[in-house]
Structure 1
């Protein structure tokens, strides 16, 4: 018989009102011919030796004042370039010489050049261009331009529209867009990077690589020294009513949660909710959740003697709105338990943001939080935070998490970490992305080896509505403190249709493909 073990998770130990969650153990070029000819005929002089194609394209882009977009299947960016030395030649000639592929063609919109293989009857891969529902789907992988490392949790939104998504842990995103917005741009942003604006038309058909540039803000040491870090945090809290929504809003949101044992998935659930988000002058207890669609994947074996499940993950995602439901490090009543220090000033959405670090005072020995808060320099708005249980005391925090467990089981928390991001829409901010990652070492009595269980929850509010917002009826509300993975669902062959979601990471996709997976889904009428 399986033993089901339950754990309580109190992320903010000193403040009893802040209880987060519980645990149980073909492309057309005709319209752009003039624009294309103008940029591609631009004369360039360059001398490159021993670089990669990626490095060469970066140098060419800097000289031509343009950006390149391409699929890694079309352009071998890691290929070495022995020598490329040209003087005052058209850009298109240089690109043709560099890439040496007669099937390569180019599409130009503004300063963006799409490099693609123009083969007859070429099949679209990975991303569907358009369908009869009136939507198009675009996708990409977001990388750091300097390091070429994927950037997780980057924000991707349609310009001047309250619709967007977030990249997954591997930098991958997909976004379904009404066709009427096909002529607009997406904006890719991340703390510490310059915003990247890309025409949606550039991204139809494949999963393209998008590189964003780190942005460093030089600042005089005397200015840094005069920053009152704790005072900035207090001011940001005092400005809550003027910087965040003071009226009710709807957030159409994607939610997912998963459980791993020793890095192998045991369960994965995902859903789309419509959330009634009450004014930021109230607490999260006034927020409501309505389930639109959900599914789950179970990979645990019947022979498993230990079952670990996530309870109240939905409530956890809602309560991670740290501006509405303040943790101890933001609550004036408990801020004296922490030390706040300035760290840096970084870029965020073309604005500057303070980076404020915090940790518990050395004379406090119970497990509190440590982490980083990002605050807009001009508006003194909390833009986000990364924080977790202080690593020094995380092993002693088991009593804060254990709700119920078998006496033969020993549980030690190993890592508790959260990330929260806010987004501005029409001059006001709201929670846009939240993620929690928790890992525990679990040892059964009389067993030689222990197991590491990792749990995560993630939320992104991909569409905001501010008109005709009313509370849901009682029968439409989903109880946020349920064990979401235990809900019963029925199969739906066309699951997500027109809804946006976070693309599963590669290891999740591998887990889904196993023979013994069980997929269940549900669609509730709106």
Structure 2
């Protein structure tokens, strides 16, 4: 992680830096990739849309009730859910912020091209008596105070799916995917979370990268690092709340829970500064979701934060930095469920008329978890370094059994097309 000291104290930025380096430079290799031992399971596919207009719902949460199995929808509202065959008599719940949740039997997903329509929550929430706070900063202070009691207190082993995409303009030029094991420390602990690589694959079309190999350092650690309830000081600690402006926005609802919506903005604008929204449960004062940005108008300071290396004759700087983190609840305790980081960069070449724009998207969804009852986890070669760069591996994209029983985020059509084109280009060469 990059550490940066501001005038008002210690300040940790959420992402490891982007590394823009010549295509023939060396990178850090991931741990050994393992193939899965297949179990008996059935894969179900479907799509989640807005009932009113048919628009796809991105990042809708699909869970198998009374289990820890879950997934999320892709940018086109599509999902894939793998369920062990011994769990066929189960129900499924689909939820999305601002929509009424829907629960149904597994039989619904047995239909081909199942479409789940969610209805917008039209309730006048401002009149609900449960909203008692009138001071937004006091609410956030209480949210941080309850961190130890509202979130997991036990070490937890999570299975998660990670995807990293790089686009130049509108074209996909690189795709990395991995199934990982997260060894998560309790939320009242200051210990760092660890990640072990289970399996991974990557492909890239470096011709479209404008003679650059754009590498995202940090890999799966990037979306995990924005678990701000595990590491609240990454943005604001309780003693630093005076450095932010907080105010209420219109409340909302998810999973039949009423949520405060708090807008926040860092007061000191001399360096890159945070602003965004916190979605806080009105009963337990738990952070359910956060959506925020890092203002990067200070171009030089932002470049120093994110760019490790670059070729001579170029200027490289970020123009948009956005983060999303979501939490899930089970038996009264909350845990990290989904993280997404989006970065957009501009590369200006000294003797070229037009610049190049790159978009880097890094997301991770927890698809299963269990409390660790085995004590201290023994590290092995599968554990990855927080500075990892996903190494090139052009195999595996045509292997339909590659991911086995692991739940993954269904690829977007644009990504699938990019995979085919990238693979064909590599095969032709």
> Is the shorter-chain TM-score for this pair beyond 0.5, marking a shared fold?
yes
Task: State which of 350, 360, 369 in structure 1 corresponds to 2:274.
Answer: 369
The aligned counterpart of 2:140 is: 233
Task: State which of 185, 189, 213 in structure 1 corresponds to 2:119.
Answer: 213
* Separation in structure 2 between the aligned mates of residue 359 and residue 239 of structure 1, nearest angstrom: 22
Q: Is 1:452 the counterpart of 2:357 in the alignment?
A: yes
* Separation in structure 1 between the aligned mates of residue 52 and residue 302 of structure 2, nearest angstrom: 39
Task: State which of 247, 250, 255 in structure 1 corresponds to 2:154.
Answer: 247
The aligned counterpart of 2:19 is: 24
Contact 2:11 2:235 (8 Å CA) reproduced: no
* Separation in structure 2 between the aligned mates of residue 334 and residue 292 of structure 1, nearest angstrom: 38
The aligned counterpart of 1:298 is: 204
| Structure-to-structure mapping, 1:271-290, within 5 angstroms | 271-283=178-190, 285=192, 287-290=193-196
| Structure-to-structure mapping, 1:67-82, within 5 angstroms | none
Deviation at 1:477, TM superposition (A): 4.2
Query: Which structure is higher in RCO with an 8 Å CA cutoff and minimum separation 6?
Result: 2
Provide, for residues 348-384 of structure 1, a one-character-per-residue CA deviation record: whole Å limited to 9, x for no partner: 21110101111122x6332211110010000000111
The aligned counterpart of 2:403 is: 496
What's the secondary structure of 1:501's corresponding residue? Answer: coil
Change (3 A) 1:326 1:187: same
Q: Is 1:175 the counterpart of 2:81 in the alignment?
A: yes
Deviation at 1:191, TM superposition (A): 1.5
Deviation at 1:412, TM superposition (A): 2.4
Q: What runs of 5+ residues in structure 2 fail to find an aligned partner? A: 21-37
Q: Is 1:472 the counterpart of 2:377 in the alignment?
A: yes
Contact 1:234 1:330 (8 Å CA) reproduced: no
Contact 1:329 1:335 (8 Å CA) reproduced: no
Deviation at 1:241, TM superposition (A): 0.8
- Runs (4+) of structure 1 exceeding 4 A deviation are 8-14, 219-226, 391-396, 487-492
The aligned counterpart of 2:23 is: none
Deviation at 1:402, TM superposition (A): 1.9
* Separation in structure 2 between the aligned mates of residue 226 and residue 333 of structure 1, nearest angstrom: 20
Deviation at 1:334, TM superposition (A): 2.7
Task: State which of 380, 387, 390 in structure 1 corresponds to 2:285.
Answer: 380
Change (3 A) 1:302 1:230: closer
Deviation at 1:147, TM superposition (A): 2.9
Contact 1:12 1:328 (8 Å CA) reproduced: no
The aligned counterpart of 2:346 is: 441
* Separation in structure 1 between the aligned mates of residue 107 and residue 383 of structure 2, nearest angstrom: 38
Provide, for residues 12-60 of structure 1, a one-character-per-residue CA deviation record: whole Å limited to 9, x for no partner: 97644455222122xxxxxxxxxxxxxxxxxxxxxxxxxxxxxxxxxxx
Name which of structure 1's ranges 448-457 and 295-304 shifts more when overlaid on structure 2. 295-304
Deviation at 1:517, TM superposition (A): 5.0
* Separation in structure 2 between the aligned mates of residue 517 and residue 495 of structure 1, nearest angstrom: 22
What TM-score does the superposition give when structure 1 sets the normalisation length? 0.71
Deviation at 1:133, TM superposition (A): 4.5
The aligned counterpart of 1:166 is: 72
Task: State which of 139, 143, 157 in structure 1 corresponds to 2:49.
Answer: 143
Q: Is 1:516 the counterpart of 2:421 in the alignment?
A: no
Q: What runs of 5+ residues in structure 1 fail to find an aligned partner? A: 1-7, 26-131, 520-526
Deviation at 1:313, TM superposition (A): 2.3
What's the secondary structure of 1:267's corresponding residue? Answer: strand
The aligned counterpart of 2:259 is: 353
What's the secondary structure of 1:353's corresponding residue? Answer: strand
Provide, for residues 399-442 of structure 1, a one-character-per-residue CA deviation record: whole Å limited to 9, x for no partner: 22122223311012111001000001122110000000100111
Contact 1:137 1:204 (8 Å CA) reproduced: no
What's the secondary structure of 1:441's corresponding residue? Answer: strand
Deviation at 1:10, TM superposition (A): 6.8
Change (3 A) 1:244 1:266: same
The aligned counterpart of 2:294 is: 389
For these two proteins, the number of residue pairs brought into alignment is: 404
